[in-house]
Amino acid sequence: MKCAEFLNELTNYLDGAIDERTKAELEDHLAWCHNCYVVCDTTKKTIEIYRDSQLYELPEDLRTRLRTAIVSKCHAHKKSGPERV
């Protein structure tokens, strides 16, 4: 297996969406190709760091304000009937 072939399968490998045979071939490649091992490992860390980063958390006060506005518009919509929106 070449590095380019490994990279093509990287997403499927990290997501566990491959058959056992392909997985074994990829892991054979990882065992001897240090560059692909590092790319695979740091790609996994990239995903994890974003998933755990809590970027753009919705502050509680804004959350309440938005929900109040949504609920009030839903009530208005309910009164006016679906054809008005």
Partner 1 sequence: MTTIQPKVDAPVTDELALVQAAKGGDVEAFEDLVRRYDRNVFRIAQHITQNREDAEDVVQDAFLKAYSNLHQFQGQSKFYTWLVRIAVNEALMRLRRRRPERMVSLDEEVKTEEDSLPREVADWSPNPEQQYNQAELREILTKTIQGLPASFRTVFVLRDVEGLSTEETAEALDLSIPAVKSRLLRARLQLRERLSRFFQRREATNGKQKPETGDTNQ
Which residues make up the interface to partner 1 (CB under 8 A)? 3-4, 7-8, 10-17, 27, 30, 35, 37-51, 53, 55-58, 62-63, 66-67, 69-71, 73-75, 77-78, 82, 85
Q: Which residues contact 44 (CB under 8 A, 6 or more apart)?
A: 14
Q: Min. distance of Cβ 21 from partner 1 in angstroms?
A: 16
Query: Whose Cβ is closer to partner 1: residue 24's or residue 77's?
Result: 77
Q: By C-alpha distance, which of 43, 45, 15, 8 is closest to 29? A: 8
d(CA 82, CA 75): 11
Q: Min. distance of Cβ 40 from partner 1 in angstroms?
A: 6
